[in-house]
Amino acid sequence: MARNRLIYIFAALLSFAFAIGYKEQISAVILAAFVIYPLFAWLTTLALSRFVSADFSQNSLRAEKGTRFDIAVNVRNRFILPCVPMELLCGLPDEDSGLVAEKKIFVTLPPLGKATLSMGCRNRYRGRYRFDIRKISVFDPLRIIRITKKGKSELNAVFVPRRLEIPDIEYFCESEILAVRQQNSADSREDFSHVRDYIPGENVQLVHWKLTAKQDEIMIKQFDGSFDRRALILCGINAGSNERDPLLCTDTVIETAIAFARGFSECGIPASVEFGSTADSFCSVTNQAEFEKFFELMSVIAPNGESFSTEKLMGEEAVLVIVTAALTDDIIALADRAASEEAVIVAYVNLSGKSPEINPENEKFIFMNICGAGQDYLSEAFREAVAED
């Protein structure tokens, strides 16, 4: 635009010199046109700016992160002069990088005309975003006058995480829960009267059986109840200190926790998810409806510096899953304590490319080293962890 103004000033000076050198009527008309045009252009552009509008075709948007989607913008010219051109300054996600950036959009409209612009976008991270049309600018035909007004249209968007899967989690849960039951019941069966030794035909055997039959039934129910198919997922949604992309790391932690909750729900195993130290940082996932509610919450939750509590009562669940991007000594100690009474999985989201400071062969729990974001990395980490176990 600055170049157009310089060219116009240079042409006006030439017309002025031409009018002085050649005292003809045509030279005076040309000079008058150069002098009058800026004022006329400013007035018409000012009027045009009052009659143009640009709005998003929808107020809300929901899409999966990392996928391509279209955003439509409706532009309209209610003036009797053409709009050549109109510039929109918008804050939209870039289709290539997946990051929100300022975009300039140019459109030409005829008198009393309207159009719909469709733009391809892609957002890299999950969460809640707000896109807006920040400025609307109109120009004169020579583009030496520009008048800008503030845009008022906004689009609220929610980008949900990907729904990943844990391969063969049902078979894994059945085998691990059975192994824990066998280990913990090895020294407990002698407490039941039906395995005590009696002399055949002895009266005390019949009397004892009648008196303790109900007690045995209660004890067996209590014993089986202590090994219910339940799971607890501890999720630290804060990224590690050495991560190159903290937002991607946080998304990977959340997607991993969602994958475990989804797997347990599909297997019929009630799961509880804890992602903070407060009472609000807790979700129960026992059916599909509760899973969808949990999924919606994790789609928009933001890291707040909190972490799950490592003070947990042992023996309440059959499976404990710890999903974290910060592998601390407290987490390892918690996993070691819990591994003596339940199946424990530590899913370490490690996107930094560095080797974890832990040897899975020396630990009682199952250790997953998740080195990337996506289904392939999660499946590979789970299969390797189960194979090593």
- Tens-digit pLDDT profile for residues 274-331: 887 665 678 889 889 999 999 999 999 887 666 666 565 555 667 889 998 888 888 8
Q: CATH 2.60.40.10 region(s) of the chain?
A: 52-160
Closest among 142, 139, 123, 143 to 131, alpha carbons compared: 123
Instruction: Tell me the pTM.
Output: 0.78
Q: What is the dihedral of CA 152, 153, 155, 156, to 10 degrees?
A: 40
Q: ∠ at Cα 166 (313, 243), nearest 5°?
A: 80
Fold classified for 52-160: Immunoglobulin-like (2.60.40)
Q: CATH 3.40.50 region(s) of the chain?
A: 169-182+228-388
Where does the pLDDT of residue 192 fall: very low under 50, low under 70, confident under 90, or very high at 90 and above? Answer: very low
Where does the pLDDT of residue 223 fall: very low under 50, low under 70, confident under 90, or very high at 90 and above? Answer: very low
CATH class of segment(s) 169-182+228-388: alpha beta
* pLDDT (tens digit per residue) in 118-160: 999 999 999 999 999 999 999 988 888 999 999 999 999 999 9
- Residue 83 belongs to what H/E stretch? strand 83-93
d(CA 116, CA 291): 38
Position 49 scores a pLDDT of: 92
